[in-house]
Amino acid sequence: MGENVEIYLRLKPVRAPSPCVSIDVSENQCVFDIPRDDLAGYVNNQREKYAFQFNGVLAPDAQQDEVFERCAAKVVTGALDGFNGTVFAYGQTGSGKTFTITGGVERYADRGIIPRAISRLYADIAKKTDGKYEVHVSYMEIYQDQGYDLLDPEHDTKALEDLPRVSVREDDAGDFHLQNLSTHRCESEEDALNLLFLGDTNRAITETPMNMASTRSHCIFTMQVERREVGSEIVRRAKVNLVDLAGSERVKKTDVSGKTLAEAKYINLSLHYLEAVVIALQERAMGGGRGHIPYRNGLMTMMLKDSLGGNCKTVMLATASPDHDSVDESISTCRFAQRIAMVANVVTINEDIDPALVIKRLKRENQELRDEIKLLSGVNDDRGALTESEIERLRSRVKAYVDGGGADEGEGLAADIGASMMKIKASYEIFREMVLRRGGGGGVAGVAAGGGEASTSPRSPPSPVVEPPGAFDDLREELRLMRERVRQRDAEINVLVGMLQRGEGGTRGGYRATAAVPLVDASNPSSTLRAIVGENENGNENDAASALPPADVLADRDRAFEHFKRAYAQNAGVERDKSTLRELYAKAKTLGERVNAARDEINAQKSKIEKRRVARALKTLSDADFDPECDAVDQAEERAKATIEESKCEYRTAFDELRDVKKEIDRLQLALDQSRRRLTTDFEKWLVMALGQQNGDGGPEETILTPGAARILGQTVVRPPGSAGPVARYRPLSAAEAEAADAAEAAAGAAAPTPAAKTSAATPAPVAKAQTREPMTELPMTGNAQVDADIAKFFAAKNLLMKRAEKA
């Protein structure tokens, strides 16, 4: 997609704006109307009116959020879609470039494009569900055409020379690569903001006294965004450059000498190179020029190669001061912007194939092909017979496959057989024997003894299999264990479903349907209760928990919970974790205060230095004899720098500690959440069992609950035909029954039962309702079509609830 660079003009608020400068925000125009008398000192004395057109004009009262939304937000959003982007500020010294790109330190609302871009990027990433995003950040300063890494964590920075130097390498395709510039992975917005703060602080304290109040260097903050789609080999990479260029004023006007002149020359030179690149691009856009774009001349132009004439959405923010003295510089800024607007970029999504994933896939395909070749050529099968252990391994694979039938087992079987025809045939033999013996053991004698040959020979018709004594014992035992496991799962499902329904605050506030629960080991009920509650602190079993609480405690869910919690072994650990968490919070608070205090101190010292430099700059202008080189060592500034240095150490130490504490808090909170969930689940199980046991009943197959007990559990009780008295047999409702119960309740206009936790055991309403229902028929599995359909419906409903429970 061909896209021209967008240009915006931002005027800085000044006390006395020149009457020569006017803007039309709705027309995006800025007009300089200069009386003929004033022309002598200005850029072109043949004209008196200059009108410049922009993509947008931001008036002096435009706020930082408007500037971000209009100029930079789309560039940030584009990066998430894989488009490179650059926003750069260009204008004379003091016109507001740094204020626009980085922001002011006084007010939160003054934060500039970089911190806002960081926040927006992470906020947008949080909303994305289409893949995994990673952000890397780098921050570089270019001073006298030399790059410096502002984010080097190793060095104790006192001067610019302390920072690592960045160099550029050009590859065969003419692309430039930065070397020795650190990039930092940022998991969160906070990480990225802290790096920005570190870079800004380094930038402030490495300014030389000769810099005065103006920035003599270019700064580039880069965010690289990488997106990987789940299950795809394609990776999208895009980078966003946020650039604060050095002041663009002319040397002759600033009338400086010595080191400042050298700096100004460098700045002018690099901006001159920038201008040369832009002019060459403009000529190319108009169909002329030599086609060569002189990016290679300077570091800044190499850095901006993609942004100017390359694959990048680029926005230029021209900043200008609308006061009388700055009119000529403002006109030249606007002229430069007009040239930039001619530059056309070709913007494409940066998608790449992730080589690691491709290698993995190719390796897999390769292996499959090798297997296929072996299979077709029978290479592997000229070896001897399968060994006993190979056959045993195959047997257990085949058995697992038959038992589980899941994808994993299937893959396991295929992986084990590989490309060996001999193993495939042996597997068929094992299948055959299993079918003939109905899953019984027995060797694959033919395979073992005769090897490949024996296994391939046609088999004689199956002879009637005589079951050897005890042949099925292990299978029966296995079956019994499996049934047991199924029953346990059912109990867990019921607890989950109940929790889900109560959590959802459904219309009825209680269990809709419940299966018979294998609640208590009939032979030793209290052992089951003990198993849930666990061992106490000393490693002894907890008798308090296995002892049933009094009936009135069990009848009140809240009190029952308190009873359970007191006895619950893991509760002591939870309480300990809670108190550790409280301590960690207090520690984090103190550390946070230390970080903020250090940050405030650094900012205060930074603005102190800035003010001193402004004062000295003014003195340079007003006092002809003042020599900035002689006044280079300003004691107060040196002290301020030393304080910044100390505060920086304090900031880093406190921040590192805070990060560690935060990680610990996150871990502990996760553990606590898990413990809380376990506590609730175990309580539900315990309550079901305790209530079942209280009734003096409960066996492996089903539990007898009184209607009151059922109500405490929040369950709907269905009275089977013929049952009478205070005891209700507790069994599943079919989906049809549940629907019928709903309809009956709605028709009766009855209020939904309150959540079980708050229902008193004496409240008869829900039970009375259950008792007045038509007696339901038991659900014998007789093959009766209607009954089977009901069962099927019930399980469908149960599965649905299970899925929702899992989701929840």
Ligand X SMILES: Nc1ncnc2c1ncn2[C@@H]1O[C@H](COP(=O)(O)OP(=O)(O)OP(=O)(O)O)[C@@H](O)[C@H]1O
Identity at 340, one-letter amino acid code: I
Which 8-27 positions form the footprint of ligand X (CB under 6 A)? 12-13
Q: State residue 253 phi and psi, 5-degree precision.
A: -75, -35
| Residue from 18, 84, 86, 95 binding ligand X (CB under 6 A) | 95
What is the CB neighbour count within 10 angstroms for residue 579?
Answer: 10
Q: How far is the CB of 148 from ligand X (least distance, A)?
A: 16
270 binds ligand X (CB under 6 A): no
SS (H, E, C) 463-484: CCCCCCCCCCHHHHHHHHHHHH
Which 291-330 positions form the footprint of ligand X (CB under 6 A)? 319
Which 567-586 positions form the footprint of ligand X (CB under 6 A)? none
The nearer residue to ligand X, 65 or 81, going by C-beta atoms, is: 65
The nearer residue to ligand X, 10 or 227, going by C-beta atoms, is: 10
Identify whether the C-beta of residue 319 lies closer than 8 Å to the C-beta of residue 52.
no
Identity at 215, one-letter amino acid code: T
| Residue from 18, 93, 157, 307 binding ligand X (CB under 6 A) | 93
The structure tokens 């007191």 sit at 566
Q: How far is the CB of 196 from ligand X (least distance, A)?
A: 16
Measured in whole angstroms, how far is the alpha carbon of residue 757 from the centre of its chain? 37
Q: How far is the CB of 155 from ligand X (least distance, A)?
A: 24
How far CA 439 is from CA of 417, 448, 455, 548, in Å, comes to 20, 19, 19, 45
Radius of gyration, alpha carbons of the chain: 39
Q: Is 11 helix (H, G, I), strand (E, B) or coil?
A: strand
The structure tokens 């799962």 sit at 489
Q: How far is the CB of 215 from ligand X (least distance, A)?
A: 3
How far CA 557 is from CA of 296, 297, 542, in Å, comes to 77, 79, 21
Q: Is 380 exposed, middle or buried (0-12, 13-18, 19+ CB in 10 A)?
A: middle
Q: How far is the CB of 608 from ligand X (least distance, A)?
A: 13
Q: How far is the CB of 596 from ligand X (least distance, A)?
A: 22
Q: State residue 138 phi and psi, 5-degree precision.
A: -140, 160
- Is 643 annotated in a binding site? The answer is no
Buried b (16+ CB within 10 A) or exposed e, 183-197: ebebeebebbbbbbb
Closest CA to 398 of 409, 389, 386: 409
Binding mask 738-777 for ligand X (x = CB under 6 A): ----------------------------------------
The nearer residue to ligand X, 609 or 797, going by C-beta atoms, is: 609
What is the total count of residues that contact ligand X (CB under 6 A)? 16
d(CA 173, CA 788): 72
d(CA 324, CA 333): 15
Identity at 85, one-letter amino acid code: G
Q: How far is the CB of 580 from ligand X (least distance, A)?
A: 45
- Is 694 annotated in a binding site? The answer is no
Q: How far is the CB of 325 from ligand X (least distance, A)?
A: 15
The structure tokens 């107060």 sit at 636
d(CA 627, CA 622): 12
| Residue from 96, 322, 753, 766 binding ligand X (CB under 6 A) | 96
Identity at 518, one-letter amino acid code: P
What is the CB neighbour count within 10 angstroms for residue 49?
Answer: 9
Q: How far is the CB of 12 from ligand X (least distance, A)?
A: 4
501 binds ligand X (CB under 6 A): no
Residue 137 tokens read as: 């950040």
The nearer residue to ligand X, 12 or 423, going by C-beta atoms, is: 12
Residue 26 tokens read as: 């709705």
The nearer residue to ligand X, 218 or 648, going by C-beta atoms, is: 218
DSSP state of 171: -
The nearer residue to ligand X, 485 or 611, going by C-beta atoms, is: 611
Q: Near ligand X by CB under 6 A, which window of 92-100, 350-358, 628-636, 712-720?
A: 92-100
97 binds ligand X (CB under 6 A): yes
The nearer residue to ligand X, 619 or 758, going by C-beta atoms, is: 619
The nearer residue to ligand X, 18 or 319, going by C-beta atoms, is: 319
The nearer residue to ligand X, 319 or 620, going by C-beta atoms, is: 319
Q: How far is the CB of 216 from ligand X (least distance, A)?
A: 8
Q: Near ligand X by CB under 6 A, which window of 97-105, 448-456, 489-497, 576-584?
A: 97-105
Closest CA to 517 of 541, 553, 547, 493: 493
Identify whether the C-beta of residue 100 lies closer than 8 Å to the C-beta of residue 112.
yes
Which 514-543 positions form the footprint of ligand X (CB under 6 A)? none
- Is 95 annotated in a binding site? The answer is yes
The nearer residue to ligand X, 94 or 309, going by C-beta atoms, is: 94
247 binds ligand X (CB under 6 A): yes
Helices (H), 68-153: 73-80, 97-101, 113-127
Binding mask 205-234 for ligand X (x = CB under 6 A): ---------xx-------------------
* DSSP letters for 515-528: -----S-TT-HHHH
98 binds ligand X (CB under 6 A): yes
- Is 94 annotated in a binding site? The answer is yes
Q: How far is the CB of 151 from ligand X (least distance, A)?
A: 20
Q: How far is the CB of 108 from ligand X (least distance, A)?
A: 14
d(CA 332, CA 337): 9
Residue 654 tokens read as: 């406190």
| Residue from 78, 82, 85, 94 binding ligand X (CB under 6 A) | 94
The nearer residue to ligand X, 103 or 510, going by C-beta atoms, is: 103
**Cα dihedral 11, 17, 21, 27 sign:** positive
d(CA 155, CA 652): 12
| Residue from 55, 77, 104, 268 binding ligand X (CB under 6 A) | 104
d(CA 686, CA 36): 95
The nearer residue to ligand X, 308 or 318, going by C-beta atoms, is: 318
d(CA 715, CA 731): 10
- Is 798 annotated in a binding site? The answer is no
d(CA 528, CA 692): 12
| Residue from 32, 50, 54, 99 binding ligand X (CB under 6 A) | 99
d(CA 649, CA 357): 42
Beta bridge partners of 345: 3
Q: Near ligand X by CB under 6 A, which window of 91-99, 300-308, 481-489, 625-633?
A: 91-99
- Is 96 annotated in a binding site? The answer is yes
Q: How far is the CB of 675 from ligand X (least distance, A)?
A: 51
Q: How far is the CB of 333 from ligand X (least distance, A)?
A: 10
Q: How far is the CB of 316 from ligand X (least distance, A)?
A: 14
How far CA 149 is from CA of 164, 184, 246, in Å, comes to 6, 12, 17
Q: Near ligand X by CB under 6 A, which window of 87-95, 329-337, 640-648, 747-755?
A: 87-95
Beta bridge partners of 2: 346
The structure tokens 């003096």 sit at 696
Start-to-end CA span in the chain (Å): 44
147 binds ligand X (CB under 6 A): no
The nearer residue to ligand X, 91 or 452, going by C-beta atoms, is: 91
611 binds ligand X (CB under 6 A): no
Binding site feature residues: 91-98
Positions touching ligand X (CB under 6 A) are 12-13, 91, 93-99, 104, 214-215, 246-247, 319
Q: Which residues are annotated as a binding site for ATP?
A: 91-98
